[in-house]
Amino acid sequence: MRKSDIARLVAAAREARARAYAPYSKFPVGAAVLAGDGSVFSGCNVENASYGLSCCAERNAVAAAVRAGARRLTAVAVAGNSAAPLAPCGACRQVLSEFNPAMTVIMASRDGRTSTTRLDRLLPRSFGPRSLARRAKKQSKQ
């Protein structure tokens, strides 16, 4: 992945982080996903007093991409307000995997340091569309 794409995604994630609604955790997070056509879609975390109804930045970025018609995502950047680069939570890893299990994951810290890996390294042996196809195939043989 080009350094310019990484910088663009991290900047979009940091900008989204500035708009986060995190009155309970006081931990704003921003994310940006890169679509196959080069489009960037961002999202921020939106908390709720009923904590289980809160939504992570990564899932909001994916929702924005899907709403715009993007289905193939090639990368995600996550920017938190932490000293170390911030990785997506498990639920977000699963959602991101739906759109490309091998996407590039760029994790950014509050001071701009980044760490990059692939999603399939963060979520090995993920459950996805192929898992459902194998199950259906197995059931049809019974």
Radius of gyration of the chain from its Cα atoms, rounded to whole angstroms: 16
Give the span between the Cα atoms of 1 and 4, in whole angstroms: 9
Q: Are 42 and 61 in contact (CB under 8 A)?
A: yes
Q: Write the burial class of residue 27 (CB in 10 Å: 0-12 exposed, 13-18 middle, 19+ buried).
A: middle
* Catalytic residue check, 47: no
> Quick one: angle between helices 3-17 and 57-67, nearest 10?
110
Find, among 65, 80, 91, the residue nearest to 115 by Cα.
80
Q: What is the phi/psi pair of residue 140, to 5°?
A: -70, -25
Just list the catalytic residues: 58
